[in-house]
Amino acid sequence: MNDNHPRVIVALDFANPMQALGLAERLDPHDCGLKVGKELFVAGGPEPVRWMVERGFNVFLDLKFHDIPNTVARACAAATRVGVWMMNVHAAGGRAMLKAARDAVSATAAETGRTRPLLIAVTALTSLDHAALREVGVELDAGRYVLRLAALARDCGLDGIVCSAVEAPAMRSAFGAEFSLVTPGIRLAGAARDDQARIVTPEAAAEAGADYLVIGRPITGAGDPVAALAAINQALGHPA
């Protein structure tokens, strides 16, 4: 993890791009990064992402690319040209796809003179528990499955993985301090679980070894999102 980057990434999971940009205008790039996922990207296209990048935000493009190697490579190159700070691909896409994505990001960054974005692999979605994994043919428990996919991503030269903070200690032990761990499924103590099967608080995620915490509803659904973000940063030891 680069200490100059905010640890909290606010998930702008909005269907209305203007609503997402309205919240982004209230936030400070020094206090958080921003995540743009499928819903917002489909609704608004790349322009909201460019707007955020131009205003100095670290943008995590969370589109979870998973396709044949050439298609994923082209998508990763396009994301690099937009200027995102981080993007992700599915580790289950296999070795050839992961290497094609890595090579495309590196080559496009060099060609355009941009800093190379972080390329992160998705392992097991936080909505999948052991029963759900078995239902789709994965006999390993969630922890061992994540470990296997994380090892593949590391071997293919990716920068880290998206994983639950529950798996973070094992990932940190297996892959060391330079392998970035990005954790979704963050909820405040006492909050509803919503659609996440494996969740943790921000403090617990940080203690478990997570580098970056993707936090949506506890901030975006708060009466005062700026204050909610400030409180989380304060709890993480990073006051505004």
Phi, psi of 44 (to 5 degrees): -115, -10
Residue of 35, 38, 64, 99 marked active site: 64
Q: CA 123 to CA 9: how far, in whole Å?
A: 19
47 in Cβ contact with 71 (< 8 Å): no
Name the residue among 152, 129, 153, 154 with its Cα closest to residue 142. 129
35 is catalytic: no
Question: Could you give the angle at the alpha carbon of 39 between the alpha carbons of 107 and 154, nearest 5°?
Answer: 40
Question: Could you give the angle at the alpha carbon of 126 between the alpha carbons of 166 and 33, nearest 5°?
Answer: 90
Name the residue among 115, 77, 73 with its Cα closest to residue 98. 73
Q: CA 190 to CA 213: how far, in whole Å?
A: 18
User: Would you please indicate which residues are annotated as catalytic (active-site) residues?
Assistant: 64
